Structure 1
């Protein structure tokens, strides 16, 4: 251990999947004393060769550091791994992907065991970890004191964005952004399906599609402003009536191209419902209210 590493916050990391391994390597490279544990011990061997202390038991790993970072498969894995471990006095940072409700429950569970708790939602894939220019970051929510105390250490693998004391908000931000991503991918896949049987090079088509999506993405700001104000007619350029009137063209084109409309039709159905309920002068924002149960 170098003098530099001795001055860095020691970290215990539980979980050495692809993401956990990437996190581990960035802390090691930055000089943080690192203790690692994984259910399958073999995964820790390479990191031990890079300077990590690999231990065979969770209790030993947790005892090694005041800051304990968890990156396991799911919430059940967290509960199982830490079930019989003394967490008193520890700062537990959970980067496992969970639901907001699971995050809140896990925070209460940690407090009952004497630990301070911070939840995280990782907005990156493993190759982005430790590469600042890649733009990856982690949402954090829960105990602000824990975040502030460990901000510098947590910022080593990826940028940090604190989203509040409500422990569930990191997971909620994470899932909300990823849900939008999958919606975008659905549109992308439908677009490629439409041209798939034609003499159109998908590689040549891709820049047109990417540029169009980037331009249309600016619409999220209009939607946000309308939701805040409650006025869904504010700043409307193409109103709901006009857009609903155009949907048969998209469905007919899909049919003619031999493409299933199953990715588009549910959204078009919601648009038609909103038109029937609220009239046609507003934007698409009213669909948000239809989704609330």
Structure 2
């Protein structure tokens, strides 16, 4: 079994819930760890080297992972650190534009840069069966060199040299998630007070949404081909016609339609433009303006 000295040492800046989970996973995998946190007591009980300052922590190792509150805190924390020759991995949730700007900022200071988007919550970190992974983008050389280390807490998925693409993938998936949550909230609101137990509806919702998720690949193929009509099962005209039933039921149940109306409005606009035989793929183009 490899000893700790055989594993890449690294520095971790930030010991919030996610940072602590990451740190524990790297320690469990045998990686020597130097940490810094504004509140040093967060490191108590961890077999780590605790640096007095962020600059001291950065100096300790070539590989530096940042897991702080936000992008502004990254710049403030690293203001006095010497980044020359460092491999900086930023796991702070950000926008694509800010990730690209941070990559330029790091490179101007002599560091290689990798941006990350964590697709997991802290309890999933270090638990492969839970399916955690992290999107990475930026320096491919950095990623390839440290792939095994980065993959210790969660699967590491490289999505390209554009430093903004990890954040873009992250936000795209989260946006789809919140759209699903909106639909689920509306569904529960419809049956609330009707003698239908939420726990009886839950498996029906789960199975239905899983079945409908099969359309995601079809939408992708249509977007790439530019043909929005081939293989369509329920065309846009049919779906718009069904809108009245959904909205009417919400009105009868005393449920707000504010989660549904924006999407229905897009459907009607696309249909008014003549897209009778399309499915919902064309709504992507409307959102792009």
TM range (shorter): over 0.9
Query: Aligned partners of 2:26 and 2:89: how far apart in 1?
Result: 15
Partner of 1:98: 94
Query: Displacement, 1:83?
Result: 1.3
Aligned: 1:88 with 2:90: no
> Secondary structure of the equivalent of 2:137?
strand
TM, length-normalised to structure 2: 0.98
Aligned: 1:285 with 2:268: no
> Secondary structure of the equivalent of 1:72?
coil
Aligned: 1:273 with 2:269: yes
Deviation readout 1:6-40 (Å, 9 max, x if unpaired): 11100100011100000000111111110011112
The 5-angstrom pairing of residues 207-218 of structure 1 reads 207-218=203-214
> Secondary structure of the equivalent of 2:195?
coil
Aligned: 1:33 with 2:10: no
Change (3 A) 1:3 1:290: closer
Query: Displacement, 1:3?
Result: 7.0
Query: Displacement, 1:46?
Result: 2.9
After superposition, the CA RMSD in angstroms is 1.0
Query: Aligned partners of 1:15 and 1:38: how far apart in 2?
Result: 5
> Secondary structure of the equivalent of 1:120?
strand
Query: Aligned partners of 2:204 and 2:73: how far apart in 1?
Result: 43
Aligned: 1:253 with 2:241: no
Query: Aligned partners of 1:130 and 1:279: how far apart in 2?
Result: 47
Query: Aligned partners of 1:8 and 1:66: how far apart in 2?
Result: 13
Partner of 1:46: 45
**Counterpart pick for 1:127 among 123, 128, 132:** 123
Query: Displacement, 1:279?
Result: 2.6
Query: Aligned partners of 2:156 and 2:274: how far apart in 1?
Result: 40
In structure 1, list runs of 5 or more residues that go unmatched. none
TM, length-normalised to structure 1: 0.97
Partner of 1:57: 53
Deviation readout 1:132-174 (Å, 9 max, x if unpaired): 0000100000100000000000000000111001110000000
Query: Displacement, 1:56?
Result: 1.8
In structure 2, list runs of 5 or more residues that go unmatched. none
Partner of 1:234: 230
> Secondary structure of the equivalent of 1:46?
coil
Aligned: 1:17 with 2:16: yes
On the 8 A contact 1:187/1:263 being kept in 2, the answer is yes
On the 8 A contact 1:45/1:54 being kept in 2, the answer is no
Query: Aligned partners of 2:274 and 2:94: how far apart in 1?
Result: 36
> Secondary structure of the equivalent of 2:271?
helix
Change (3 A) 1:221 1:3: closer
Query: Aligned partners of 2:116 and 2:71: how far apart in 1?
Result: 12
Query: Aligned partners of 2:125 and 2:247: how far apart in 1?
Result: 41
Partner of 1:6: 5
Query: Aligned partners of 1:95 and 1:78: how far apart in 2?
Result: 10
Deviation readout 1:184-212 (Å, 9 max, x if unpaired): 00000000000011010110110000000
Query: Displacement, 1:42?
Result: 1.7
Query: Aligned partners of 1:3 and 1:154: how far apart in 2?
Result: 17
> Secondary structure of the equivalent of 2:219?
helix
